[in-house]
Amino acid sequence: MKVIKEIASWVIPILVGLAIAFLVKTYVFTMARVDGPSMEPNLINNERLVVWKQAKIKHLSVIVFDAYGEDPTATKPKTDYVKRVIGLPGDTVSSKNGNIYVNGKVVPQKFISMQERTSGTGNWDLQTLSRSWNKNVNVTKVPKGEYFVLGDHRSVSNDGRYWGFVPKKKIVGVAKTFFWETNKTKRHNVNDLGY
């Protein structure tokens, strides 16, 4: 009996700790890693992020989502992408001369340079983009329960312009950088721009 109590005295705290860790990872936050240059200059390849699962998704929030089933080139489940939310459900989105417009208003893009805004962005609206997508062909607004995303490094980013919208059910959460990972400006550009 004494041996059972002794074993239980260290097994129970371990099990409780594992259960708490599982619940936190499932419902509160998880970790992610940037893969590739699509979010430069604000996030770099291999940079670590914390992903808040219950955070509200806003315009310009940086999110992590599973691209499998959305981007045809994402061939494995749990292929996480990191992108910036441009359009929320019901929004119209367009691009002209390096400016992004949401519901007819210019989106402030001080988080990237003028060259990054114009190089690779092109002139388009959702309807013209959607003609080449597999789903949501000829849409004029972001559908209910979905989001339109772009990478900050537009000329190399594989994003919503090429394959469409991200369903809410595929979004892991809102990404935030660690204070030791980057400088103050880049942290602000990732952590504080949502509106």
Q: What is the pLDDT of residues 105-143, one digit of tens each?
A: 999 999 998 888 888 788 999 999 999 998 889 999 999
Q: Is 113 an active-site residue?
A: no
- Is the CB of residue 53 less than 8 Å from the CB of residue 171? no
Instruction: Check which CATH number belongs to the domain holding 81 and give it.
Output: 2.10.109.10
For residue 1, tell me if it sits in a domain.
no
Burial 117-149 (b: 16+ CB within 10 A, else e): bbeebeeeebeebbeebeeeeebebbbeebbbb
Expressed as residue numbers, the domain containing 59 is 31-191
Residue 124, token pair as written in the block: 């388009």
| Catalytic residue of the set 61, 83, 94, 170 | 83
Residue 21 pLDDT exceeds 60:
no
For residue 156, tell me if it sits in a domain.
yes
| Catalytic residue of the set 2, 5, 38, 105 | 38
pTM above 0.75, yes or no: yes
For residue 6, tell me if it sits in a domain.
no
Q: How many domains does the chain have?
A: 1
Task: Please give the C-alpha separations between residue 175 and each of 51, 74, 86, 171, in angstroms, as whole numbers.
Answer: 4, 20, 15, 11
Q: Is 61 an active-site residue?
A: no
pLDDT tens profile 145-171? 999 999 999 999 999 999 999 999 999
For residue 116, tell me if it sits in a domain.
yes
